[in-house]
Structure formats: structure tokens, C-alpha cells
Amino acid sequence: MKYILIDDDPIINLVHKRILQKVEETAQIEIFISGVKALEYFKANGTDGQVVFLDINMPEMNGFQFLDELLKNKSIKMEGLSIYILTSSLNNKDREKAKGYPILKGYLGKPLNVDAMLNLKGQFSEPVG
């Protein structure tokens, strides 16, 4: 399974990477510390059934702005992506706002833990093709 972590905090990225590797030894993990960089990656490589963990509060481009740009770009196929919000926000507004994006598969609180990951695994969509 391919995982993409988008978060501006490198330490939490490290934590999440390790947890993912604990749950799935063969996991392929890409880390982006900004939405802009992740967007460039998708534009260049397209989608390939990845599971995306997206933080909300990020400089330059926040999680929702990233989603908006992603949806705007017709060349990127969304069917292949499973996107989860992974945030430390306790703001209800963020949770409400997330409900306005049907593309999202879930809304998770940081940090990921092994049990929660095992639960999630069953829901991940298979890569296209």
C-alpha cells in the first residue's frame, strides 16, 4: 500500500511513518511538508490508489485549500485516492467544514496509533487498474 503524509511538522511525520511501518512492513511512504509540494507530486505522477493523511493547519496552503486545488485540477483522477484528515485541531468548525468534502474518507485526531491503523486498513480502497 502506498501512503502519502502531508504535514508541516517533520517530527509527527516521522512518528506516523514509523507507526505505518509497524502496521505494514511493506508500506511505501511519501512525505510532503507542504500542500504545494504534494500538489506538484500529484500533477507530475497522477494518482495510484494512495492513502493520503492530510493535516489542516499548515503554512502557505492549508489542508482545505489543498483539497480545493486538487479538485480543481481535472487531470488528477480522484477515484484512486483515499484521503483522511489527520489533525490536532479541536475546532468544531474544521470538523464541520470537512463534512462538506465528500471525497474525504475520514477525520482522525493526531497521533495515529497502531490500533486505529489496523481498524482503518480494512476500509482502504484498492488501487485502480
* Shortest distance (Å) from residue 19 CB to other proteins: 7
1 touching other proteins, by CB under 8 A: no
> Among 27, 113, 117, 124, which residue interacts with other proteins (rule: CB under 8 A)?
113
Residue that is written with C-alpha cell 480522484 in the block: 78
Minimal CA–CA distance to 42: which of 14, 4, 10? 4
106 touching other proteins, by CB under 8 A: no
Q: What is the total count of residues that contact other proteins (CB under 8 A)? A: 19
19 touching other proteins, by CB under 8 A: yes
Which set of grid coordinates corresponds to residue 126?
A: 484498492
How far apart are alpha carbons 17 and 22 in whole angstroms?
9
56 vs 81, which CB is nearer to other proteins?
56
| Site track for other proteins across 85-104, x = CB under 8 A | ---xxxxx------------
* Shortest distance (Å) from residue 72 CB to other proteins: 25
**Strand runs labelled E in 1-120:** 2-6, 28-32, 51-54, 82-87, 104-109
The DSSP secondary structure of 68-96, one letter per residue, reads HHHHH-TTS-STT-EEEEEE----HHHHH
110 touching other proteins, by CB under 8 A: yes
How far apart are alpha carbons 81 and 123 in whole angstroms?
12
Q: For binding to other proteins (CB under 8 A), which residues are involved?
A: 9, 11-12, 15-16, 18-19, 22, 57, 88-92, 110-114
